[in-house]
Chain A
Amino acid sequence: MTVRELVEKAPFKAAVLPDPDREITGVYIGDLLSWVMGRASGGDAWITIMSNVNIVAVASLADTACVIEAEGVTPDEEILATASAKGVNILLAEGGAYETAIALSKLL
């Protein structure tokens, strides 16, 4: 499933979608950035509550398909602009990491 299809089918909102056709091949949940870089696979949808600018570099380098901000966390405009420029998709979810993962599990 692509990130665009996920936004259409899941209760997630697109904050920025510079690479909408990116295929999602798995899911990783975590807030410690080095753990994410060490353990997430390329193509994962990465669920986190971290919202500082470093998530853009981590998502880009770990080559995740998208970042899903859980718990209604919304990164500020500057971060969204950086994500857009770096080709990093960011989605927003109202639920916690658990609810967000369940929603993904039903669709993937």
Chain B
Amino acid sequence: MSEALTFHFDVDGADFTSAGQASVQVKKNLRLLGISPDIIRRVSIAMYEGEINMVIHAGGGEADVTVTEEEIVISLRDHGPGIKDIDQAMQEGFSTASDRIRTLGFGAGMGLPNMKRYTDHMEIRSELGKGTDITMRVNLK
């Protein structure tokens, strides 16, 4: 694997029940590339949390996963409302999800913390009314 491989996904914001398709596909692709199960688990969970966030809060978005010899980079972009206070959003238990989302088992305020927990580096850029970009990196070496 000498060149970078990129997988692109459009995340459908209209269908909450299909959320996770991109993450499950990434899991399959990484397995085919011979990435270790622990890394696959971390990458796919971090990506799923991001995917769910885009569906819940932003009406969907886009995701790119780039694999190089050194690292796996997950980039998420949406044009949703943006995050008002990133430090607050990063706290376990803080959530602005609706009751409907909570009845589905989400909205526990663990999404962003899990994304940070499972990746080696996470950067959030968000502007109110414009959207949110998140980049997560998982080291392979």
Contact = CB atoms under 8 A, between A and B. Distances in A.
B126 interface: no
B11 to A, nearest CB: 13
B105 A50 contact: yes
A52 B104 contact: yes
Contact of A32 (B23, B24, B48, B110): B110
A21 interface: no
Interface in B97-113: 104-106, 108-111, 113
- A: contact size bracket: 20 to 34
Given A53-B17, A57-B20, A62-B45, A38 B106 contact: no
A61 B48 contact: yes
Contacts of B110: 32, 34-35, 37-38
B105 A37 contact: no
Interface residues of B, number: 23
Given A37-B49, A61-B20, A42 B41 contact: yes
Interface string A22-45: 000000000111110110001000
B74 interface: no
Contacts, number: 67
Given A38-B110, A38-B117, A32 B37 contact: no
Nearest to A79: B17
B17 A63 contact: no
Nearest to A63: B41
Interface of B: 17, 19-20, 23-24, 27, 37-38, 41, 44-45, 48-49, 104-106, 108-111, 113-114, 117
Interface of A: 31-35, 37-38, 42, 50, 52-58, 60-63, 86
27 contacts: A31-B105, A33-B104, A34-B108, A34-B110, A34-B114, A35-B108, A35-B110, A37-B110, A38-B114, A38-B117, A42-B37, A42-B41, A50-B104, A52-B17, A52-B105, A54-B106, A56-B20, A57-B19, A57-B24, A58-B20, A60-B24, A60-B27, A61-B20, A61-B23, A61-B44, A61-B45, A63-B37
